[in-house]
């Protein structure tokens, strides 16, 4: 797990399962939160999440706001263990503002936010230290990433490499390389020509210094 990205329980605002919708509404109206974790009355166990929108819906329906927050609670099963893998974490988090983290006894540890995960992924592409990002279309054959990396490495080190297969389709398989600041246009040209000769089709080149695409 990406423990360094977790916001611990001590850093968070949470609500008790016996708090009212009115109590939660007061928190939402004085903060920018969209959702808040709900814990049991001991402040230890994770119960679920309350969303601002659901309280507003209850208010619009003229429901009794003295009802407990559990009456509109969501995401009771949307949590991961502290030792979850990166991929378990990523796919659990993708449609949520945050994912709750628990230990083996269901004790609430904290949350991992969607924005923290996206920032971590962005930094892993080395965009701040990189000069060019190359996106290659491949046939998806086994070993294509290794072969492309070998060709690029003849002329440059590789700051980061990402392989994407969004549609499980060989025609849309992509490899994204970020090259370091030391790479100039002459070296870039040699890399592109070699990749082309070896059957890799260049979809785009981004100059990270200019934040624009080259043809």
Residue 211, both tokens: 């934040």
Burial of 31 (0-12, 13-18, 19+ CB in 10 A): exposed
pLDDT of residue 58: 94
Q: How many CB atoms lie within 10 A of CB 125?
A: 18
CA atoms 142, 196, 151, 182: torsion sign: negative
- Return the residue matching tokens 């679920």: 48
Mean pLDDT of each 10-residue bin along the chain, 215 residues long? 84 96 96 95 97 95 96 94 86 91 95 89 68 84 88 94 67 83 94 93 86 45
pLDDT of residue 189: 95
List 174's β-bridge partners, or say none. 137, 164
Reported pTM: 0.69
Residue 188, both tokens: 């870039």
Sequence-ordered list of residues with C-beta below 8 angstroms from that of 108, at least 6 positions apart, any chain: 9, 14, 37, 39, 44, 45, 46, 100, 101, 102
What is residue 197's three-state secondary structure? Answer: helix
Structural domains of the chain in order of their starting residue, each with its CATH number: 3-119 (3.10.580.10), 126-208 (3.30.70.260)
What is residue 204's three-state secondary structure? Answer: strand
């Amino acid at each position: 797990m990406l423990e360094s990205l977790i916001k611990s329980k001590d850093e968070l605002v949470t609500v008790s399962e016996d708090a009212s919708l009115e109590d939660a509404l007061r928190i939402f109206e004085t903060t920018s939160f969209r959702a808040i974790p709900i814990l049991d009355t001991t402040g230890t166990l994770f119960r679920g999440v309350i969303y601002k929108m659901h309280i507003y819906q209850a208010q619009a329906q003229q429901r009794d706001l003295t009802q407990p927050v559990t009456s509109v609670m969501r995401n009771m099963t949307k949590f991961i263990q502290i030792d979850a893998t990166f991929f378990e974490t990523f796919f659990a988090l993708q449609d949520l503002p945050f994912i709750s983290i628990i230990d083996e006894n269901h004790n609430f540890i904290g949350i991992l936010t969607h924005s923290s995960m996206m920032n971590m992924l962005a930094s892993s592409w080395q965009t701040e230290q990189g000069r060019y990002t190359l996106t290659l279309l491949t046939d998806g054959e086994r070993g294509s990433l290794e072969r492309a990396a070998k060709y690029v490495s003849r002329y440059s080190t590789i700051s980061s490499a990402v392989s994407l297969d969004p549609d499980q389709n060989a025609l849309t398989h992509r490899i994204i390389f970020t090259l370091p600041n030391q790479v100039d246009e002459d070296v870039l040209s040699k890399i592109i020509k070699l990749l082309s000769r070896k059957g890799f089709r260049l979809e785009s080149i981004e100059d990270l210094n200019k934040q624009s695409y080259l043809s």
